[in-house]
Chain A
Amino acid sequence: MSQFAVPWREKPEPSHGFVSSFIVALAKGIYAIATPIVTRFPGSILLSAVVASCFLVWAHALLFSYVDTAVLERAAEVGAANPNAFGYFSPSTWGLPPSVIGTLLAGDAAVEGQSPGLLSYLLWPVQFGFTRDMIAFGAIFAWFNIVPVYVIWWERKVAGRIQSRLGPMRVGGWHGWAQSPADGIKLVLKEDFIPDAADSILFRAAPYFAIIPSALAFVALPFGVTYIFREVDVALVFILAMLGIEVMSVILGGWASNNKWSVYGGMREACQMVAYEIPMGMALLVPVVCVGSLSLKYIGEVQADGWFSWLAFRNPFAFVAFVTYFIASLASCKRAPFDLPEAESELVAGFLTEYSGFRWALFFFAEYAAMFVVGGLATIMFLGGWNSPIPSDWGAGLGESIWAKGLKGILFSGPIWFILKCVFFLFLQLWVRWTLPRIRLDQVLYACVQVLLPLTMVLLFGTTLWVWASESGNATWDVIASIVSKVLGIVGLAFGFGFVAIAGYGFYHRRRLVGNLVIDPLPGS
């Protein structure tokens, strides 16, 4: 009977054997060549990967903006009102010919009739929305996968350091850098286990309710002025909605497991979400009131004038709102000290009790992606988004050459800054998690409803008054406001330096083993 199931096993063809042995040999060869490199120089590889990705990101923006300019100019020539004149799929026209792009790339000095270079041909598809969407989509999808994997690894390293141990050290060589991918492979290969009494459909569906919203949140999350998959005018609300929908997965997962601990986890998540979501939203409304827009792109753009223009330092209320938001965002990601839904010591593993393997991994992907999104929101709403602390007009003297543009792109703004800030927030989240005990449910509710909620209400009201006063154009007030802003900025700066100082101190005094106190394990003679 089995011959029908797997026919090719019946008549093995020589080519199969050849192909398979070739693949194995290739893999072995790559492994043999790569392993020493990978294990010996992983630091440099990682560093160069970072540099390379920075370069790619920068070049991508630069080239795309050239093509954009070209399209706009051409569209103006043609007289089309719609800047997106060449359409999404562009069925009617083939867009700008490569030669035009080449001309633009070469600048004004280009000679007419010169044959377009390879780059022009490569860039030709970029002018179509669909192409760009595909590129951006690939980038987001890749990022969405990279972030959880490496944040998990990083978290384990950070946790190890905090706990005076090393964390993963073996897999992949250098500091166990391949630990997370290896874990991922293990999880994928694990038995797909569904308890008999579980509601199997919902049990299977629940992880997707976690992963899809957290992936969708990236759609509206800008990494830079031009690094937005979709520029949504209600991006903030959209991302908050996505974070809110994730709760559904926890409740469903908890319910579908048909395990009392899981149900407790789900219920706790629902309770907690009811409590934290309002202060979180209201804390985010504070910068929204300052700026007057829900578009994250716009909110990021108004903070381009250096450190003191960042919204957290605009007025005292926003500064406090920043802290409030950070606390609420911990609850939103189910991170300690708000990790009640999966509280290990109380609920075994909460809603995750019955999950294992790939589904469990999906939950974790969602959680860590949400952590990044939450950190990204904090960055954009309070800490200047993708802008560097240096005011952007300082770069006016650099000129407009392609290199100057590139330098500006790296110095003054760009996804690098955004990601760095997000990483900072991620670190804060990790730090808090490995330091603090867990809060009890009634304390969570108390903190969110009776402390944070009134606080954010006061903040919102105060900001409204502040903005109102600022818009009245009173000169005295402007002076006061700017002084307050400077003071806040300096306080923030002090916090930042303090953070760096603590980190530096810790790094300098780092101690892996206790030293001479380790006693020879053999009994004495």
Chain B
Amino acid sequence: MAETTFESTPDLLLDHDRVEQGDLQTEELLVNMGPQHPSTHGVLRIVLRTDGEMVLEAEPHIGYLHRCAEKIGESVQPYQYIPYTDRMDYIAGMNNNQAFAIAIERLCGVEVPERAKRIRVIMAELNRIASHLVALGTYGLDMGAFTPFTWCFREREMILDLFEAACGARLTYSYITVGGVHDDLPDGWVERCEEFLDFFEPKIVDYNNLLSFNHIFVKRTATVGVITAEDALAFGLTGAALRATGVRWDLRKVTPYDGYEDYDFDIPIGQDGGIDGVPRGVVTGDCWSRYYVRILEMTQSVRIMRQALKRLEEGPIEAKKVKGIKLPADEVYVEIENPRGQLGFYVQGDGSAIPARVKARGPSFCNLAITSHTCRDILLADVPAIIGSLDVVLGEVDR
């Protein structure tokens, strides 16, 4: 009798042993989503176990972008390390700079001048908006809507123009340094920034009309990837992903830094649909909540910026004597509110100018951990929806 013959089996879709062992059911399939996949936002690789369109299990594999960022921090002086930090989360370079700068300032007890603090807040919030714009635009792409992407990037380009005017770089700023910021704002920058804010605020309504309240978009994202507050806390979720589950937790309020205590702003959280203009069907902690929390946060950022711009006064922009400063033999751990969540830096000094140990707690890295928990028994199309709503940046995950 003729047997089953395998003729040139270069890539069997299912390997036979796993079927025999009952590991995989006959109808199941292992699929690699990434590392080269349009909707994994970088080089994330997710291994999916699927049954038709159903994803039974998803396991993120990371490490394709590892650059020893922390190790480098232990071989250079802090002010030299600043440019490395904004390569970590390259979408929000300003905030990364700020986190590391604050860590060193706390360690060495450097007092930052008032004007520098204001500028830092302005830059951080501006970058938060830019980062959220990327998140929104790419999330639209993940859902198959192309237009929000260009709309968001249109506004983001303006922010980048502002950054460029301030520091000369459009992506990797290294603007916020230990002890302040490295350059003062150019003439007319404040007016331009206010002009931008006036232009930008109504655009948020446009985004809402185009995407947020689009029926299909709501259908695609509401009740998808629901994360409960307990799970979020257990998995160490931070940032918009945490706030979308209904936990009102924001380090700018909880442990204010750089003068955030002076500003008046709200912390938006996710809520169930049906009230406050939230569409019906939305559940606290689902993809739509995470998305919408970012939209609301942009409004709050605008609010903070307006206050900061108003209070911006002349003065020094950098503390004295920060270059070549000796780090005391002490340790410090500082967390600040990144657009993606809580970015923490642990720095240990040994009396020399070079840190003995630098460790970063990346929000994307921590947020990504919940993927395998959430991506269970969902449809294939929900995987990009969940990953996109977590808004991870792989540069920071792998570091």
Q: Do the beta carbons of B161 and A521 come within 8 Å of each other?
A: yes
Q: Whole-angstrom distance from the CB of A443 to the nearest CB of chain B?
A: 6
The listed residue (B144, B161, B183, B383) touching A344 by CB distance below 8 A is B144
In the bound complex, CA of A186 to CA of B164 (Å)? 37
Q: Which residues in chain A, 102-130, are within 8 Å of chain B measured between CB atoms?
A: none
Q: Take A436-B145, A514-B158 as given contacts and tell me if A346 and B219 are in contact as well, using a CB distance cutoff of 8 Å.
A: no
Q: Take A519-B161, A519-B165 as given contacts and tell me if A524 and B188 are in contact as well, using a CB distance cutoff of 8 Å.
A: yes
Q: Whole-angstrom distance from the CB of A335 to the nearest CB of chain B?
A: 11
In the bound complex, CA of A267 to CA of B13 (Å)? 15
A-facing mask of B41-79, CB < 8 A → 1, else 0? 000000000001100000000000000000000000000
Contacts of A344 in B (CB 8 A): 38-39, 141, 144
Q: Do the beta carbons of A164 and B150 come within 8 Å of each other?
A: yes
A-facing mask of B161-202, CB < 8 A → 1, else 0? 110111110000000000000010111110010011001000
Q: Whole-angstrom distance from the CB of B92 to the nearest CB of chain A?
A: 21
For residue B257, CB closer than 8 A to chain A, the reply is: no
In the bound complex, CA of A441 to CA of B211 (Å)? 19
A-facing mask of B89-130, CB < 8 A → 1, else 0? 000000000000000000000000000000000000000000
The listed residue (B10, B165, B188, B214) touching A196 by CB distance below 8 A is B10
Q: Do the beta carbons of B150 and A437 come within 8 Å of each other?
A: no
Contacts of B337 in A (CB 8 A): none
The listed residue (A164, A436, A523) touching B166 by CB distance below 8 A is A523
The listed residue (A164, A442, A519) touching B162 by CB distance below 8 A is A519
Q: Do the beta carbons of A337 and B216 come within 8 Å of each other?
A: yes
Contacts of A264 in B (CB 8 A): 53, 380
Which residue on B lies nearest to A442, using beta carbons?
A: B379
Contacts of B164 in A (CB 8 A): 519, 521, 523
Contacts of A520 in B (CB 8 A): 165
Q: Do the beta carbons of B144 and A348 come within 8 Å of each other?
A: no
Q: Do the beta carbons of B140 and A517 come within 8 Å of each other?
A: no
Q: Do the beta carbons of A162 and B147 come within 8 Å of each other?
A: yes
Which residue on A lies nearest to B36, using beta carbons?
A: A348
The listed residue (B38, B53, B147, B383) touching A434 by CB distance below 8 A is B147
Q: Whole-angstrom distance from the CB of A191 to the nearest CB of chain B?
A: 19
In the bound complex, CA of A162 to CA of B189 (Å)? 30
Q: Do the beta carbons of B384 and A436 come within 8 Å of each other?
A: no
For residue B358, CB closer than 8 A to chain A, the reply is: no
For residue B217, CB closer than 8 A to chain A, the reply is: yes
Q: Whole-angstrom distance from the CB of B157 to the nearest CB of chain A?
A: 9
Q: Do the beta carbons of B143 and A437 come within 8 Å of each other?
A: yes
Contacts of A267 in B (CB 8 A): 52
For residue A339, CB closer than 8 A to chain B, the reply is: yes
Q: Whole-angstrom distance from the CB of A509 to the nearest CB of chain B?
A: 14
For chain A, which range describes its interface: under 10, 10 to 19, 20 to 34, or 35 or more residues? 35 or more
Q: Do the beta carbons of A343 and B147 come within 8 Å of each other?
A: no
Contacts of A522 in B (CB 8 A): 165
Q: Take A436-B214, A439-B216 as given contacts and tell me if A164 and B381 are in contact as well, using a CB distance cutoff of 8 Å.
A: no
Which residue on B lies nearest to A436, using beta carbons?
A: B216
Q: Do the beta carbons of A518 and B151 come within 8 Å of each other?
A: no
For residue A381, CB closer than 8 A to chain B, the reply is: no
Q: Do the beta carbons of B165 and A437 come within 8 Å of each other?
A: no
Interface centre among A344, A436, A443, A525 (most CB of B within 10 A): A436
For residue A260, CB closer than 8 A to chain B, the reply is: yes
Q: Do the beta carbons of B53 and A441 come within 8 Å of each other?
A: yes
Q: Take A337-B216, A523-B186 as given contacts and tell me if A438 and B145 are in contact as well, using a CB distance cutoff of 8 Å.
A: yes
The listed residue (B29, B31, B161, B220) touching A518 by CB distance below 8 A is B161
B-facing mask of A501-525, CB < 8 A → 1, else 0? 0000000000000100111111111
9 shortest interchain CB distances as A-B pairs: A524-B186, A438-B144, A163-B150, A437-B145, A345-B39, A437-B143, A519-B161, A197-B10, A345-B142
B residues near A, CB below 8 A? Answer: 10-11, 13, 29, 31-32, 37-39, 52-53, 140-147, 149-151, 154, 158, 161-162, 164-168, 183, 185-189, 192, 195-196, 199, 210-211, 214, 216-217, 219-220, 379-384
4 more contacts with CB within 8 A, not counting A345-B39, A346-B384, are: A261-B31, A348-B38, A523-B168, A525-B187
Q: List 15 A-B contacts (CB under 8 A).
A: A163-B146, A164-B150, A164-B151, A165-B150, A260-B31, A267-B52, A337-B144, A345-B143, A346-B381, A437-B145, A517-B196, A517-B199, A519-B162, A521-B161, A523-B186
